[in-house]
């Protein structure tokens, strides 16, 4: 059983999804904690998003893509991918929910799939470039 799990996590795509799950728990946990202690929801959202991006960058740099490149250029590219993904995410939600009248939960699910794919390809081929790093699929 342990060997099967180790083999599974050799796949970079699995590591990416695992880190995404961790980051979701981390980001939401920070948000929930800040709201619980009385912080404004929008301030809590900004703080949890910034911390979530930093958390995600570290995990993706060292665990998912095992990057050895210089961090400054990487983090700028990483944030760029996040911003592009965020913009596309809002367009997808607007089109699917507002224009096409699709259920907001179904629209959100489709949005999650699209932004996960955008993030995967953006981070693999732009943020971490994939050429010098652990490139096992």
Give yes or no for residue 133 having a pLDDT over 60. no
- pLDDT given for residue 2 in this prediction: 85
Q: What are phi and psi of 108, to 5 degrees?
A: -65, -35
Q: How confident is the model at residue 82 (pLDDT cuts 50, 70, 90)?
A: very high
Give yes or no for residue 131 having a pLDDT over 60. no
Helices H / strands E in the chain, number of each: 5, 0
Task: Check the CA dihedral 129-131-132-137 and report its sign.
Answer: positive
CA 111 to the chain's CA centroid: 13
Range 35-50 average pLDDT: 94
- pLDDT given for residue 19 in this prediction: 97
pTM: 0.83
Place of tokens 């799950």: 21
- pLDDT given for residue 34 in this prediction: 95
- pLDDT given for residue 92 in this prediction: 92
- pLDDT given for residue 39 in this prediction: 94
Q: How confident is the model at residue 132 (pLDDT cuts 50, 70, 90)?
A: low
């Amino acid at each position: 059983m342990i060997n099967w799990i180790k083999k599974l996590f050799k796949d970079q795509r699995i590591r990416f999804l695992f880190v995404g799950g961790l980051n979701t728990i981390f980001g939401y946990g920070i948000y929930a904690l800040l709201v619980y202690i009385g912080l404004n929801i929008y301030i809590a959202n900004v703080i949890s998003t910034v911390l979530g991006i930093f958390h995600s960058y570290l995990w993706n740099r060292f665990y998912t893509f095992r990057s050895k490149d210089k961090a400054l250029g990487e983090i700028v590219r990483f944030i760029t991918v996040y911003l592009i993904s965020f913009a596309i995410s809002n367009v997808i939600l607007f089109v699917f929910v507002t224009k096409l009248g699709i259920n907001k939960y179904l629209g959100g699910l489709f949005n999650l799939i699209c932004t996960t794919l955008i993030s995967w390809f953006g981070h693999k081929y732009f943020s971490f470039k994939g050429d010098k790093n652990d490139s096992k699929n």
